[in-house]
Chains A and B, each alone.
Chain A
Amino acid sequence: MTTISAQSLDLTFPSPDGPVHALSDISLDINEGEFVSFIGPSGCGKTTFLRCVAALETPTGGTLTVNGMAPDDARKARAYGYVFQAAGLYPWRTIGRNVTLPLEIMGYSKADRTKRMEDVLELVELGNFTNKYPWQLSGGMQQRASIARALAFDAPILLMDEPFGALDEIVRDRLNEELLSLWKRTNKTTLFVTHSIPEAVYLSTKIVVMSPRPGRITDIIDSPLPKDRPLDIRDTPEFLAVAHRVREGLRTGMEAA
């Protein structure tokens, strides 16, 4: 079943140097339960596309449906949880109360809030940190808490905009592994923006390669890798073949620009 469907999507921003073509003719269908990575250099529109899905930007052309609805209706129906590169936890709230913030806003009962908060923090292995403050946690733990916050209201879609971009590679590997197991357990349709080829190939069932000026799709790769992926799958020929194709896609995109 198609969860997100884009048909010849266009988005131009006005700017002093003339209009900027952020998205050009983006057509893409994402099925329920897929893990889709968007990879490409800065300015290729991967974040902009995610923001269009989240109704944080409005496309200037084409059609986009999220869960069969217009993006803004999907936003109001709380169809997705969004994770930014900055964890964005409030320093004056404990981890637990950071996670319950969206639930408070959405009007969940206190008992329900507490239960959901405990469940999602358990899911990201922060069960013992409910009463800690964000500054007491490492950067990786903060980002896990922010993922828990996005999962707390059990939206069917998870949008992640370079969530691990600011973390070092060792922490990043761990979080990638955890994210994968999280995705397998929750089966959420996940859209994941990244700069990193290994990260994209390791995590995704589908990789969308994009290139800038104008922001467009140069290749869509359906990953042949199995759903169970230990970290050393990254040394297998299948993995390297996919990574190679991504790199090729990025190169042709750059040459055409």
Chain B
Amino acid sequence: MTDATFAATPPGATSRRLREFARNFGPVVTVIAALIGLWYLACIPMNAQNSLLLAEREGIAVSPATAAERRDVGGIALAFATPDQALARAFDQDRPRLPTPHQVVTELWDTIVGQKITSKRSLVWHAGITLAPTLLGFLIGSIAGIALAVGIVHSRVMDLSVMPWAIASQTIPILAIAPMIIVVLNSIGIQGVLPKAIISAYLSFFPVTVGMVKGLRAASPSDLDLMRTWNASGLRTLLSLRLPMSLPYLFASLKIAVAAALVGAIVGELPTGAVSGLGARLLAGSYYGQTVQIWSALFGAAIVAALLVAVIAAVERFTLRRMGLA
């Protein structure tokens, strides 16, 4: 570098900006790079069976020599036994046991950007199918959760009786109860979005209840005493004091609840024959051994969850800042 280049930019400005960038994003990038590296590394033993089979079919000598001999040998051992073939063929198989990151990204790109949104092959279309029961269930669950919390905070009987049941409800595996909900509702003629939404609501009410019980009790004793000196009714205290004070807790719970609602909607798609939706993509992928499709559906679900949480976080930031609670 010459003296002239130094003169063109204020001394240290570029390097400071670089340092700042590195400080902000360095840790994130490092972790992601490490994870992707591990992922690629894991592909070698995970896909070794298939790699060696493909090599054997092309007449390349591998060890052990036959599929029958290799069947009970672990992937790591196989990869070490014939490292060149295991390495060369691990990353671009048609039906890998573990698809590589670039295969998943390619599939995501093809099914998100490469298809018309109305196409049944579009992941966006499937995500939309899953989104409807997610949002409806999230709405039902949140309202139910808030209502339960209001009851628990105001009634000693509910305080003592509801919480154990709410906790018990969450210990039942959702996979066990989802088909029952679908079947029972179907038998009384309710089909479509609502049964799935109810499964979503079943998962999402709980964090809202727990968070809001805490939030509705967040007002300080002197704030509550003050309301009492004004002879304010319970309803008035709820609306003017307890609910506004509970908002930080509400938003924290809603973020958990919306992710849980998405899980509920995906699980709710499984027992219905899996025609459409992210859950259907997962199930169909596993029927036909399409691991790339499974993984891209998983990432699709993760992206949807991240977007939903981000929307709530944005509303949270705006609301709490406006209310002076941030």
Instruction: Give the B-binding residues of A (Cβ under 8 A).
Output: 54, 56, 75-76, 78, 80-82, 84-86, 88, 90-92, 101-102, 104-106, 133-135
With A88-B222, A92-B244 known as contacts, the answer to whether A105 contacts B236 (CB < 8 A) is yes
Q: Does B110 contact A (CB under 8 A)?
A: no
With A84-B225, A101-B240, A105-B240 known as contacts, the answer to whether A76 contacts B231 (CB < 8 A) is yes
With A91-B323, A101-B240 known as contacts, the answer to whether A75 contacts B229 (CB < 8 A) is yes
**B228: contacting residue among A56, A92, A133, CB under 8 A:** A56
Q: Does B170 contact A (CB under 8 A)?
A: no
Q: Are B220 and A54 in contact (CB under 8 A)?
A: no
Proximity bits, B196-230, A CB within 8 Å = 1, else 0? 00000000000000000000000010110111111
Q: Are A80 and B229 in contact (CB under 8 A)?
A: yes
Besides A101-B230, A101-B240, 16 more A-B contacts (Cβ < 8 Å) are A56-B228, A56-B229, A82-B225, A86-B222, A92-B322, A92-B323, A92-B325, A104-B240, A105-B227, A105-B230, A105-B232, A106-B230, A106-B231, A133-B324, A134-B324, A135-B324
Task: Determine the distance from Cα of A134 to Cα of B325 in the docked complex, in whole angstroms.
Answer: 11
Task: Determine the distance from Cα of A54 to Cα of B230 in the docked complex, in whole angstroms.
Answer: 10
With A78-B230, A86-B220 known as contacts, the answer to whether A56 contacts B225 (CB < 8 A) is yes
Q: Are B244 and A88 in contact (CB under 8 A)?
A: no
Q: Which residue of A lies closest to B232 (CB)?
A: A105
Interface class of chain B by DSSP:
helix
Proximity bits, B313-326, A CB within 8 Å = 1, else 0? 00000000011110
Task: Determine the distance from Cα of A159 to Cα of B240 in the docked complex, in whole angstroms.
Answer: 23
Task: Determine the distance from Cα of A92 to Cα of B240 in the docked complex, in whole angstroms.
Answer: 10
Q: Are A75 and B244 in contact (CB under 8 A)?
A: no
CB B227 to nearest CB in A, in angstroms, measures 8
Q: Are A102 and B222 in contact (CB under 8 A)?
A: no
Q: List 7 A-B contacts (CB under 8 A).
A: A88-B223, A91-B325, A92-B322, A92-B324, A101-B240, A105-B236, A135-B324
Q: Are A82 and B220 in contact (CB under 8 A)?
A: no
With A88-B220, A88-B222, A88-B223 known as contacts, the answer to whether A75 contacts B324 (CB < 8 A) is no
Task: Determine the distance from Cα of A56 to Cα of B236 in the docked complex, in whole angstroms.
Answer: 18
**Top 7 A-B pairs ranked by shortest CB distance?**
A91-B324, A92-B323, A82-B229, A84-B222, A102-B230, A105-B232, A105-B230
Q: Are A82 and B324 in contact (CB under 8 A)?
A: no
Task: Determine the distance from Cα of A176 to Cα of B226 in the docked complex, in whole angstroms.
Answer: 23
Task: Determine the distance from Cα of A92 to Cα of B324 in the docked complex, in whole angstroms.
Answer: 6
CB B230 to nearest CB in A, in angstroms, measures 5
Which A residues lie within 8 Å of B223 (CB)?
Answer: 88
Task: Determine the distance from Cα of A106 to Cα of B227 in the docked complex, in whole angstroms.
Answer: 11
**B231: contacting residue among A75, A81, A133, CB under 8 A:** A75
**A75: contacting residue among B222, B228, B241, CB under 8 A:** B228
CB A9 to nearest CB in B, in angstroms, measures 19
Task: Determine the distance from Cα of A105 to Cα of B227 in the docked complex, in whole angstroms.
Answer: 9
CB A94 to nearest CB in B, in angstroms, measures 10
Residue from the set A88, A104, A133 with the largest chain B CB neighbour count within 10 Å: A88
Find residues 297-326 in chain B having any chain A CB closer than 8 Å to their own CB. Answer: 322-325
Q: Which residue of A lies closest to B325 (CB)?
A: A91
CB B313 to nearest CB in A, in angstroms, measures 19
CB A80 to nearest CB in B, in angstroms, measures 7
Q: Are B244 and A90 in contact (CB under 8 A)?
A: yes
Task: Determine the distance from Cα of A133 to Cα of B244 in the docked complex, in whole angstroms.
Answer: 16
Task: Determine the distance from Cα of A102 to Cα of B229 in the docked complex, in whole angstroms.
Answer: 9
Q: Which residue of A lies closest to B226 (CB)?
A: A88
Which B residues lie within 8 Å of A81 (CB)?
Answer: 229
Task: Determine the distance from Cα of A119 to Cα of B322 in the docked complex, in whole angstroms.
Answer: 27
Which B residues lie within 8 Å of A78 (CB)?
Answer: 230-231
**B229: contacting residue among A54, A85, A91, A135, CB under 8 A:** A54
Task: Determine the distance from Cα of A135 to Cα of B225 in the docked complex, in whole angstroms.
Answer: 22
Task: Determine the distance from Cα of A133 to Cα of B321 in the docked complex, in whole angstroms.
Answer: 12
CB A84 to nearest CB in B, in angstroms, measures 4
Q: Which residue of B lies closest to A80 (CB)?
A: B229
Find residues 80-132 in chain B having any chain A CB closer than 8 Å to their own CB. Answer: none
CB B271 to nearest CB in A, in angstroms, measures 45
Q: Which residue of A lies closest to B237 (CB)?
A: A105
Which A residues lie within 8 Å of B229 (CB)?
Answer: 54, 56, 75, 80-82
With A91-B324, A135-B324 known as contacts, the answer to whether A84 contacts B228 (CB < 8 A) is no
Task: Determine the distance from Cα of A84 to Cα of B324 in the docked complex, in whole angstroms.
Answer: 21
Which B residues lie within 8 Å of A134 (CB)?
Answer: 324
Task: Determine the distance from Cα of A102 to Cα of B240 in the docked complex, in whole angstroms.
Answer: 11
CB A4 to nearest CB in B, in angstroms, measures 15
Which B residues lie within 8 Å of A76 (CB)?
Answer: 231
Task: Determine the distance from Cα of A84 to Cα of B231 in the docked complex, in whole angstroms.
Answer: 16
